[in-house]
Amino acid sequence: MKASNINKSGMLRIRAVNTEHTCPLKDIVYSQRQATSNLIGGIVKPKLVDHKRKYTPYDIKKDVKIDLGVDVNYMLAWRAKEKALKSLRGTLAGSYAKLPAYLYMMDITSPGSHICMKKSINNEFLYLFVALNIFIQRFMHCRAVVVVDGSHLRESYNGTFVAASTIDGVVSDKNESIIKSVTKVYDNVPHYACLHAK
């Protein structure tokens, strides 16, 4: 396109137009449709509302191909899922940041409880101990028997969730450190091993 100013009026007069587009970018833009992780994340977000549903990046790749007619790689599908989950549930760090307020309200509503959250010198979460007053009071009427169980935590924060409760015997897995501790603390109480069926 060629144009010139009309007597310094701020208006332009077009003198010549070439309608043939020779830019190679045009062919790239129109021949390849692309989808971003933000776009895909917005599309798959409703499918991730149910936290029990297994919806893998492979499922996302298949659905994007059907819905949009676009091929996406595994990493793009994975990033899209992560963004959708972050939009739905927030971040893990954000959840940990809410713990102090939650524990404060728990302490107010259940006075006499023992609640302790330990942080590192960098103010990072290390562990949490909760013994509610109602359970402490009832514990005095239970036999001196403890059941110990642990569950490994996944995602960005590793560690183990450990739970203890009372019934009619000390029950744990065959972990040697638990067996050794039980024999020292409860020398007259039988220890039972829990066998997990595969």
Residue with tokens 């940041």: 97
- The ranges of the chain with pLDDT < 50 are 25-32, 197-198
Cα torsion 110, 111, 112, 117: sign: positive
Whether the Cβ atoms of residue 57 and residue 77 lie closer than 8 Å to each other = yes
**pLDDT recorded at residue 109:** 93
- Candidates 142, 149, 143; CA nearest to 193 is 149
pTM attached to this predicted model: 0.46
- Candidates 42, 46, 78; CA nearest to 59 is 78
- Beta-carbon-side half-sphere exposure of residue 141 (alpha carbons within 13 Å): 4
Q: State the Cα–Cα distance between residues 55 and 68, nearest whole angstrom.
A: 18
> pLDDT tens across 78-94, in order?
999 999 999 998 887 78
**pLDDT recorded at residue 105:** 94
**Hey, where are the domains in the chain?**
21-90, 112-193
